């Protein structure tokens, strides 16, 4: 089975559409989204809805997603990021938070090996760290 693994959409619906059009030619059957549907771009809610519509989606929330959903402080962000998150919160904070929650943590039933240059924090439900280098 072929997977499309992607991240950092950051509210850019045009880029998300371009990416999905490109991966369709590879006959992708499953999608693994590793965070940050929102932040910076003008279309956070349409991006989340597009992600939710993908078949066989596995997704986790990124730091921007958690901040926009009110589950992470935005003090760590650069000023332009804080402003983007505030705009998203101001538009529809409860709706955005609910939509982010509906997408994240849809995990595949089989084992997934995640290779990351940073930390996976907080740990995903039901996951364990096998090896750290």
Q: What is the DSSP string of 60-78?
A: ---HHHHHHTTSS-STTS-
0.75 exceeded by pTM: no
Tens digits of per-residue pLDDT, 74-133? 665 666 665 655 545 555 445 555 666 665 545 444 444 555 555 555 555 665 555 444
Mean pLDDT of 58-87: 67
Q: Is residue 23 part of a domain?
A: yes
Q: Where in the sequence is the domain holding 26, given as residue range(s)?
A: 3-103
Q: Is residue 109 part of a domain?
A: no
Q: Is residue 120 part of a domain?
A: no
> Residue 110 — φ and ψ, nearest 5°?
-90, 175
Q: Is residue 119 part of a domain?
A: no
Please provide the size of the chain in residues: 133
Q: Is residue 123 part of a domain?
A: no
Q: Which residues pair with 30 in a beta bridge?
A: 3
CATH number at residue 98: 3.60.21.10
Q: Is residue 133 part of a domain?
A: no
Tens digits of per-residue pLDDT, 37-46? 887 888 888 8
What torsion do the CA atoms of 5, 94, 85, 104 make, to the nearest 10 degrees? -20
pLDDT attached to residue 110: 47
Q: Is residue 27 part of a domain?
A: yes
Mean pLDDT of 59-70: 77
- Please give the order of strands across the beta sheet that includes 3-6: 3-6, 30-33, 57-59
Count structural domains, the chain: 1
CA atoms of 124 and 132, how far apart (whole Å): 16
Higher pLDDT, 58 or 87: 58
Q: Is residue 63 part of a domain?
A: yes
């Amino acid at each position: 089975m072929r997977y499309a693994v992607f991240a950092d959409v950051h509210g850019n619906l045009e880029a998300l559409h371009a990416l999905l059009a490109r991966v369709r030619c590879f006959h992708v059957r499953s999608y693994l989204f590793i965070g940050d549907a929102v932040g910076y771009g003008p279309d956070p809610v349409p991006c989340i809805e597009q992600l939710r519509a993908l078949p066989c989606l596995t997704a986790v929330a990124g730091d921007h997603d958690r901040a926009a959903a009110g589950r992470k402080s935005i003090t760590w962000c650069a000023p332009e990021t804080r402003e983007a998150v505030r705009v998203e919160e101001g538009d529809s904070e409860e709706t955005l938070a609910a939509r982010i929650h509906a997408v994240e943590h849809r995990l595949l039933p089989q084992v997934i090996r995640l290779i990351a240059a940073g930390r996976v924090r907080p740990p995903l439900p039901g996951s364990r760290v096998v090896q750290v280098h």
